[in-house]
Amino acid sequence: MIPRLKLYSGFILLAYVIGHFINHALGILSIEAMNAGLRIIDPVWRSLPGTIILSGAVVTHGTLALYGLYRRRSLSLKTWEITQLVLGLLIPLLLTTHIIGTRVLDDTYNVSGDYTTTMLVLWVFRPDFGALQALTITVVWSHACIGMHMWMRLKSWYGPVRIWIFGFAIALPTLALAGYVSAGMEVLELARIDGWIQAILASYGRRPEMTDFVLNTKDQIQAGMLVTLAAVLIARAIRAAILRKRHTTIPMRYAPGDSIITINPGATALESLRAAGIKHASVCGGRGRCSTCRVRVEEGYDQLPPPDENELKVLDRIGLKGPVRLACQIRPSSELSVAALLPPDTSAQRDMQKRDHRQGDELTVAFLFVDLRGSTKLSEDRLPFDVVFILNQFFAELSLALEETNGHYAQFNGDGLMAIYGLDSDVSTGSMQAIEGAKAMFRRLEGLNARLVGEISEPLKIGIGIHAGEAIVGSMGPPATPIVSALGDNVNIAARLESQTKDFGVPLVLSAQTAEYAGIDLSSLSSREVPVKGRDMPIQVYTITHPEKLVRGPV
């Protein structure tokens, strides 16, 4: 509930700010254009419903921000979090004078000001306040943009429209500042006209005591804000001192690294990791939105409080099962052991674009095995440096072929590799991409052979086997350098098909099942059966002499 309230109140404030900035931008035309825009926008927010909504959003957003600051057990934050927090704390102090000098003053003294009177004060009577107002525009917008970016980058639609949103984020405050300056210069020119200032003040109904009211009220409110902030910080310090005195800390074992860290009661696992200086993924900054801080609870899962509605929604959204929780949401009260499921440098784009298979999934995907023929002969009469140089070029071309066709490198075996296709799509798409990956490898190998003429006695050749089916996919290998790979009978079949390219004397052996998934037109080819170790029944395959001719059949 709290994250939603903060988000929704932020949306209301953002809507107000955008409308205000658009009104400022009209100053590029004239101050009268600003007043015309004000007569359209202002009644919305000055109405009783508008006043209740806007005031409620201000109080809610500010209160929840202070509550969040108090609730944090650690202020070890990322740079963007610190920036947003500092800017957020500055905004009320910067806006106090402006709000009192416009809305509060108008309501208290039953007067009605507009941009003309406001700009007269800011540019003629109190240019120091005018400079402060320009700074406030920048601070408010920067705070809002950080918050919106961190929320939107978790959305799948953000990537394609990001450049347009970025352009809007730059253009709007720029136009607002330009309008503000243009209107200010216009007021300075008008102020040189004899009697103009007096006429404006008279029409506004200015009284001598108004200035003292604004300054005194501003000082009182700002002092109250600072006292409130100080109270929150003091409360945090008192709580920390009490916890230190009680020595009531909770041990947590963290993998990878098998580190032991201490958790203060009420602190989240993520806060404790940060306080200990351990890097852990958290794209949204611990707001329970992105799921990148997820951990597998290996010990102590049953002693954790159950996930709340927000955490359950995130876990369900990405289909996580078993003892998996969000590190930013769990507040351990007893000893536990957790393991990270994502690398600490995980980005929003990586998490959105690719499903996470690190905790293990049973998936139907396509497997491609490729092997370099005659690699032993390649090392004859060559220095080790020459062999490594040629192999590095060979694997570079294979890597580019995988990148072109959305293949995932999963295993290296000296003179070949295994790739997985379909991790981020269905098996039909993955099977077709695997075939395209094989074609790209043959094409790139042809180009490499052309470059190596004179370096090698005969062209490099490869054999490729492709098969699709179910397998266990997950993060495997040493904790420091794990890699997403796969295990299962279908993986072994793909490897077997690659070895069959030698027996059949063809560059590619494709299983009939994969061809069916991909919808390949094989009307001109005949299938054959291949025995597979560990299986009673052989499998049907196609031996492909010209892989480049493989295309989809009619739908």
pLDDT digits (tens, 9 = 90+) for 452-491: 887 777 888 999 999 999 988 887 767 666 778 888 889 9
- Provide the greatest CA pair distance for the chain: 105
pLDDT digits (tens, 9 = 90+) for 50-62: 999 999 999 999 9
Q: Which of 67-71, 390-394, 521-525 has the lowest mean pLDDT?
A: 521-525
pLDDT digits (tens, 9 = 90+) for 233-291: 999 889 888 877 776 788 999 887 678 888 888 888 898 888 888 888 888 877 787 77
Kindly indicate the confidence band of residue 17, based on its pLDDT and cuts at 50, 70 and 90. Answer: very high
pLDDT score at 375: 67
pLDDT score at 319: 65
pLDDT digits (tens, 9 = 90+) for 286-340: 778 777 888 888 888 888 888 888 888 888 776 666 688 899 889 888 888 988 8
CA atoms within 13 A on the CB side of 156: 6
CA atoms within 13 A on the CB side of 171: 7
Q: Tokens standing for 28?
A: 């590029």
Question: For residue 184, which amino acid is it?
Answer: G
Range ranked top by mean pLDDT from 70-74, 268-272, 413-417, 524-528: 268-272
* 108-126: burial string, b at 16+ Cβ within 10 Å, e else: ebeeebbbbbbbbbbbbeb
Kindly indicate the confidence band of residue 359, based on its pLDDT and cuts at 50, 70 and 90. Answer: low
Average pLDDT, rounded, for the chain: 86
pLDDT score at 384: 74
Kindly indicate the confidence band of residue 553, based on its pLDDT and cuts at 50, 70 and 90. Answer: low
From residue 373, give the alpha-carbon distance in Å to each of 285, 460, 511, 544, 554. 50, 7, 21, 17, 35
From residue 410, give the alpha-carbon distance in Å to each of 254, 355, 360, 417, 425. 26, 15, 14, 7, 17
Mean pLDDT of 70-97: 86
Residue 493: pLDDT over 70: yes
Question: For residue 424, which amino acid is it?
Answer: D
pLDDT score at 194: 92
DSSP designation for 281: -
Cβ neighbourhood burial of 517 (10 Å; 0-12, 13-18, 19+) = buried
Domains and CATH numbers, the chain: 2-238 (no CATH), 250-350 (3.10.20.30), 354-549 (3.30.70.1230)
Residue 64: pLDDT over 50: yes
Q: Which of 112-116, 161-165, 525-529, 534-538 has the lowest mean pLDDT?
A: 534-538
Kindly indicate the confidence band of residue 387, based on its pLDDT and cuts at 50, 70 and 90. Answer: confident
| Residues of the chain above pLDDT 70, percent | 92
Kindly indicate the confidence band of residue 167, based on its pLDDT and cuts at 50, 70 and 90. Answer: very high
Q: Where are the beta strands (DSSP E) in 224-340?
A: 250-255, 259-263, 294-299, 324-326, 336-340
pLDDT score at 353: 45
Cβ neighbourhood burial of 450 (10 Å; 0-12, 13-18, 19+) = exposed
Residue 342: pLDDT over 50: yes
Q: Comparing 380 with 138, which gets the higher pLDDT? A: 138
Residue 414: pLDDT over 50: yes
* SS3 at position 350: helix
| Residues of the chain above pLDDT 90, percent | 43
Asked if residues 404 and 440 have their Cβ atoms less than 8 Å apart, the reply is yes
Kindly indicate the confidence band of residue 348, based on its pLDDT and cuts at 50, 70 and 90. Answer: low
pTM of the model: 0.59
pLDDT score at 354: 46
The span from the CA of 370 to the CA of 413, in Å, is: 10
The span from the CA of 543 to the CA of 521, in Å, is: 14
Kindly indicate the confidence band of residue 417, based on its pLDDT and cuts at 50, 70 and 90. Answer: very high
